Amino acid sequence: MDFGSVDVRDTCDDVEGAGRATAGETTDRKGTAAREGALGAKESGLRSPVTDGVRGSASGGLRALATEAVHAGRDDLARQGLHAVPIDLSTTYPSYDSRGEAARIDAFATDGAEPEGPPVYGRLGNPTVARFETALARLEGTESAVAFASGMAALSAVLLVRNAMGLRHVVAVRPLYGCSDHLLTAGLLGSEVTWVDPAGIADALRPDTGLVLVESPANPTLAELDLRAIAHACGSVPLLADNTFATPVLQRPAEQGARLVLHSATKYLGGHGDVMAGVVACDEEFAGRLRQVRFATGGVLHPLAGYLLLRGLSTLPVRVRAASSNAAELAGRLAADPRVARVHYPRLGGAMIAFEIHGDPHEVIAAVRLITPAVSLGSVDTLIQHPASISHRIVDAEDRRHSGVSDRLLRLSVGLEDVEDLWRDLDGALGRG
C-alpha cells in the first residue's frame, strides 16, 4: 500500500504529489522542491471542488462550494427578517392535533422521512440541526445528511442499519481511525469484518456483505485510495468513505461513487475544538433508515452543536486553504530535516501531516510549547499526538505496524498560526527528541 510519503534517506523519494528531487541535490534543495511541489498539489486539490458548481440553491442554478459554505442552510433567513441562525433548544413541542401528530409519527416509522409540519420531539428532529444537515448535504453533493452526537455514533448507526437487514459482514481497508477499527474488530455491534487491501475488495464480498468501509486520506498515515475504483469494485454493496481529513473542500466522495460519506464533524467541520458531532451524507432512502436508528437509540446532536457546526461550515474553505498552505510548507521542511526519517503528506494536500522520526517521539510531544499535544484534529490551532499511544492504541500492535502506524510516527494537525512560529516550535522539539 502506498502511504504517500518521503523517506529523507532516499533523495529520489518525494512528498507525495510534491515534485521530485534528483539524487545529486542537497538536503536543502530537496526540501525546497518538496515545499514547492506540495503547495502546487494543495492548490490543485482545492481549486476544482471550490470553483466547480455544486447542487442547485433554493434560488436555482449552481453555486460554488465557497458560496454554499456561507449560505446553505440559511437561504430562508432574510425572508424571516433574520440574519443570524436561530437556536431552537426545545426538547418537545406543543400540539393540539393529536390525530395529525399520530399520523406523522406513523409516517416516520414507515420510511424515516422528516415529519411534515411543526416539530414533535427532539429525538425526531430539531430545526437548528436540520439546517446543518441541509448545508452539509449541499457541500457533499448528496440528497440528505443525518447528524449524530459523535462520529462514532454516526458510524454505529450505519452498521445498525445494515445489521437490521441481515447484512452483518463488512469489508474494510486499513488504516482507519482507531476506534472505527476497534468497533469492527471487536464485533461490538454484531458485525463481522474482513480486512483487505484495496485490490482485494471485490474478492472479499459475500452475499451478507452490507458495507465496504474506507478512509482516504487515512488516519493517521494519510494513505490515499482511488475511491472511484473502489466504488466500482463494491458493485451493489454501499461504499462508506470517511472524508473527515479531506472535507468536501478537497474531495467529494459521492461524486466518485461512494453512497455514504462519513465525517467526524468534531474536526474540520466545527473547526474550533468546541463541538462534538458526527454526520453521514447520503441519499434520502438511506437517510430515512439512519433517522429511524437515531430516534430509537437516542444518539441525537444537541441544537447548540448544530448551530456551531453550521457556523463552522461558513469558514471551512478559508480555513482549509490557509491550514493547507501551512502544512505544505512544514511538510517540505520536515522532509529536508535529517532528524526526520519519513514524511507522509497527501497528494490532494490538506492540513494533516504524519512523520516518523529517528529519535524518541515522546520527547517531541513533551517539548512542544506553541503546538498543543492533544488528540483530535482540524482546529484553528495546531495539535500533535503519538498515534501508537493514543488514537490507535486500541488497535492490535501488529495490525498497527502492518498498516503503517509505526511507534515513531507523529501526527500533526496544522492550524492557522504563522508558519515560522510553528516551525520554530517543531524545530526545538525535534532537537529534544
Active site residues: 123, 177, 242, 267
Query: To which residue does cell 434560488 refer?
Result: 59
Residues in CB range of 28: below 8 A, 6 or more apart: 336
Phi-psi region of 414 (alpha: psi -120 to 50; beta: other; left: phi over 0): beta
Task: Identify the sign of the CA torsion 33, 36, 40, 41.
Answer: positive
User: φ, ψ for residue 84 (rounded to 5)?
Assistant: -85, 150
**Other beta carbons within 10 Å of 401:** 13
Those residues with Cβ within 8 angstroms of residue 194's Cβ, 6 or more apart along the chain or in another chain: 169, 170, 171, 172, 204
> Could you give phi then psi for residue 37, rounded to 5 degrees?
-70, -40
Q: Is 157 helix (H, G, I), strand (E, B) or coil?
A: helix
Show the cell assigned to 327. 502544512
d(CA 293, CA 234): 24
Sign of the four-CA dihedral 319, 321, 323, 326: negative
Distance CA 255, CA 253 (A): 5
Lookup: cell for 366: 513533551
Round to whole Å and give the CA distance between 77 and 71.
10
Q: What per-residue string of b and e applies to 124-151 under the rule 16 or more CB within 10 Å gives b? A: bbbbbbbbbbbbbbbbbbbebbbbbbbb
Nearest-angstrom CA–CA distance, 199 and 228: 13
Do 86 and 70 meet the contact criterion of CB atoms below 8 Å apart?
no
Q: Could you give the C-alpha distances from 394 to 151, 177, 264, 372, 398, in angstroms and in order? A: 17, 10, 18, 22, 12
